[in-house]
């Protein structure tokens, strides 16, 4: 496994000179190899292992570590990576896509295998650079995130020691330093989740949804619930609950209001990640109060939402393919793609169903676990803490409702109705390996939705045991102990009821009288054979409008314009110097 990050980095460096198709095939092959290795490690319940790399200064060598937590995340991330490279790694822009993909995968692998804060920061820097430093529209502000998390790790490390995770486990930080580090970590991970790309790139969108978001959740679990849990404070959990809840609600609202299909799909993925962040906070609260059942429920919800990263990857890939086929990303210019691109539309429907939080879907199982953790959470800390818990429940409820509406909007406007433009009417379905990958992903997320417990038992049981202190209640078919949610019987009941209704409906078939496509009596206007776009639902008005604040803010006085500007290079030098000073202070005391 330790050879995979440098292999992907080498692939990124050579992407420009490899023959057409070779880079994508090499990337897919490496991802599949890594997936199989990590799956073998998970199934065999491999023992934790560490590796010290002869890189870096003598007092700060890099460390890699593989344990149950990282192995489980590696399986999900590498599966997403293989799918993304197969679908988006070919085409006219192949060298740039393979370069970005390979670099991002290398960075994420370093994050998941990191044994110390420096390796974690290097992995984050590579991954953030691959995602946000597009040559046409670079967003260098994203590189502040690795610095923030490096600073967080340094604060969590006891004075005089290198920022290794096993050092932090052995000697938990003091209250002030620990709280500072945890809050900085929460802020960094929150920024990693919520920061939008700002430009359109199918490969980067899919990598962000399928790899970077799970890596962000892994970072949070590693820093706050794993290495520094012994010094944990309720404030850390409350911060995660609030930040995660705000992200989930905001991204859910964006998913329901965005005008472009790829922006809506990306927002749905970030909404799930926000819910998972809130779940991490719930898990920490329960663990600190010695409530292993509640912590297990919350962590199970987090892990199910992380598995939902596969559904987010599927929806992102399918949305780009649908838009490419129809020639537009704007929702008001799509439509009727269910009949024109049936395979892609079916795969997209499977992914949207998994994210929609309806019974027997993956999203519903995760939300159920989180709400069960809410009712099992400790009732301590006074009224402010209880209000935070209630607000978290409200955020989960609002995010679930917004996600359901957003998926309805995407399915209804993009896949159903009539084509709104001639380009959409001429859409052709994808073929070959990308089609197989999308259909396979759709089947996998549907299977996880009706069988969440076997999926958790297979991939995450050691993680639950390690982080929550118990995995009891995840042995049977019901989610959670006692009278729980039983996805398979509920799906069977739904199938039975809908089947009975269909049987009754088609018992006495009668020949239907055909009518024209314009049943409402109005013929399409002259010159607009696809109908007047202004007369069809265009995807606006699905979510309640954000109320305007009745306050009128005072006008600030105009500040004098800066006469001089710091060169951008100088700004980065200052930031890097500050980070280096922080490291030296942390190590040298």
Indicate the residue among 69 and 367 with the shorter CB distance to other proteins.
367
CB-side neighbour CA atoms (13 Å) of 505: 6
Indicate the residue among 47 and 505 with the shorter CB distance to other proteins.
505
Q: Which two tokens stand for residue 478?
A: 């019901």
Tell me the closest approach of the beta carbon of residue 427 to other proteins, in angstroms.
15
Q: Measuring CA to CA, which residue among 48, 25, 28 is closest to residue 36? A: 28
List CB contacts of 270: < 8 A, sequence separation 6 or more. Answer: 193, 194, 213, 247, 251
- Burial 427-453, CB ≥16 within 10 A → b, else e: bebbeeebbebbbebbebbbebbbbbb
Tell me the closest approach of the beta carbon of residue 85 to other proteins, in angstroms.
32
Q: Which two tokens stand for residue 69?
A: 């937590």
Distance CA 584, CA 160 (A): 9
Tell me the closest approach of the beta carbon of residue 483 to other proteins, in angstroms.
4
Indicate the residue among 199 and 518 with the shorter CB distance to other proteins.
518
Q: How far is CA 262 from the centre of its chain?
A: 14
Q: Measuring CA to CA, which residue among 263, 245, 239, 248 is closest to residue 188? A: 239
Tell me the closest approach of the beta carbon of residue 375 to other proteins, in angstroms.
5
* Element at 66 (helix H, strand E): strand 62-66
Indicate the residue among 61 and 412 with the shorter CB distance to other proteins.
412
Count Cβ atoms below 10 Å from residue 161 Cβ, excluding itself.
15
Indicate the residue among 159 and 500 with the shorter CB distance to other proteins.
500
Indicate the residue among 37 and 401 with the shorter CB distance to other proteins.
401
Tell me the closest approach of the beta carbon of residue 499 to other proteins, in angstroms.
7
Tell me the closest approach of the beta carbon of residue 536 to other proteins, in angstroms.
6
Distance CA 478, CA 481 (A): 7
Helices 213-220/175-194 angle, 10° precision: 170
Tell me the closest approach of the beta carbon of residue 335 to other proteins, in angstroms.
8
Indicate the residue among 138 and 524 with the shorter CB distance to other proteins.
524
Indicate the residue among 288 and 416 with the shorter CB distance to other proteins.
416
Indicate the residue among 515 and 561 with the shorter CB distance to other proteins.
515
Tell me the closest approach of the beta carbon of residue 516 to other proteins, in angstroms.
7
Q: Measuring CA to CA, which residue among 297, 294, 289 is closest to residue 376? A: 294
Distance CA 578, CA 572 (A): 10
Query: Which phi and psi (to 5°) does residue 63 adopt?
Result: -125, 140
Contact 81, 210 (CB under 8 A): yes
Count Cβ atoms below 10 Å from residue 335 Cβ, excluding itself.
28
Tell me the closest approach of the beta carbon of residue 539 to other proteins, in angstroms.
9
């Amino acid at each position: 496994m330790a050879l995979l990050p440098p292999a992907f980095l080498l692939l990124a460096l050579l992407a420009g000179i490899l023959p057409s198709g070779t880079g994508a095939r090499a990337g897919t092959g490496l991802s599949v190899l890594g997936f199989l290795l990590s799956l073998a490690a998970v199934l065999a319940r491999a023992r934790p292992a560490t590796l010290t790399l002869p890189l870096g200064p003598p007092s700060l060598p890099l460390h890699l570590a593989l344990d149950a937590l990282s192995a489980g995340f590696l399986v999900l991330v590498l599966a997403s990576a293989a799918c993304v490279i197969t679908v988006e790694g070919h085409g006219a822009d192949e060298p740039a896509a393979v370069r970005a993909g390979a670099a991002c995968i290398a960075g994420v692998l370093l994050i998941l295998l990191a044994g110390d804060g420096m390796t974690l920061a290097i992995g984050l820097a590579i991954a953030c650079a691959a995602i946000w430093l597009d040559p046409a529209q670079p967003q260098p502000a994203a590189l502040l995130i690795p610095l923030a998390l490096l600073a967080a790790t340094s604060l969590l490390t006891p004075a005089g020691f290198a920022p290794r995770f096993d050092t932090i486990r052995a000697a938990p930080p003091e209250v002030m330093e620990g709280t500072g580090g945890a809050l900085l970590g929460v802020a960094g991970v929150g920024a990693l989740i919520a920061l939008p790309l700002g430009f359109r790139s199918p490969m980067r969108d899919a990598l962000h949804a399928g790899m970077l978001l799970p890596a962000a959740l892994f970072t949070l679990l590693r820093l706050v619930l794993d290495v520094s849990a012994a010094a944990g404070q309720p404030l850390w959990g409350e911060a995660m609950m609030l930040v995660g809840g705000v992200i989930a609600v905001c991204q859910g609202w964006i998913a329901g209001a965005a005008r472009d299909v790829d922006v809506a799909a990306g927002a749905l993925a970030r909404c799930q990640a926000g819910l998972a962040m809130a779940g991490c906070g719930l898990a920490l609260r329960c663990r600190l109060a010695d409530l292993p059942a509640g912590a297990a429920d919350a962590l199970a919800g987090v892990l199910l939402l992380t598995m939902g990263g596969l559904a987010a990857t599927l929806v992102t890939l399918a949305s780009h393919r649908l838009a490419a086929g129809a020639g537009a990303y704007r929702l008001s210019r799509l439509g009727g793609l269910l009949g024109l691109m049936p395979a892609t539309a079916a795969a997209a429907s499977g992914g949207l169903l998994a994210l929609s939080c309806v019974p027997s879907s993956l999203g519903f199982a995760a939300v159920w676990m989180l709400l069960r953790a809410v009712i099992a959470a400790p009732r301590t800390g006074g009224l402010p803490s209880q209000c935070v818990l209630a607000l978290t429940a409200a955020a989960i409820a609002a995010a679930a409702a917004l996600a359901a509406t957003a998926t309805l909007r995407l399915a209804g406007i993009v896949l159903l109705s009539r084509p709104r433009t001639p380009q959409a009417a001429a859409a052709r379905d994808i073929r070959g390996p990308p089609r197989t990958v999308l259909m396979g992903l759709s089947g996998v997320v549907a299977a996880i939705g009706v069988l969440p417990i076997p999926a958790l038992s297979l991939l995450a049981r050691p993680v639950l045991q390690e982080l929550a202190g118990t995995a009891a209640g995840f042995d049977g078919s019901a989610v959670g102990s006692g009278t729980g949610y039983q996805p398979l019987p509920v799906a069977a009941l739904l199938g039975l009821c809908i089947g009975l209704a269909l049987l009754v409906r088609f018992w006495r078939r009668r020949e239907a009288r055909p009518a024209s496509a314009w049943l409402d009596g109005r013929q399409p206007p002259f010159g607009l054979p696809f109908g007047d776009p202004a007369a069809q639902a265009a995807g606006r008005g699905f979510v309640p409008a954000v109320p305007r604040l009745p306050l009128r803010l005072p006008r600030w006085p105009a500040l004098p314009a800066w006469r001089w500007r710091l060169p951008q290079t100088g700004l980065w030098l200052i930031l890097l110097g500050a980070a280096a000073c922080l490291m030296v202070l942390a190590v040298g005391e």
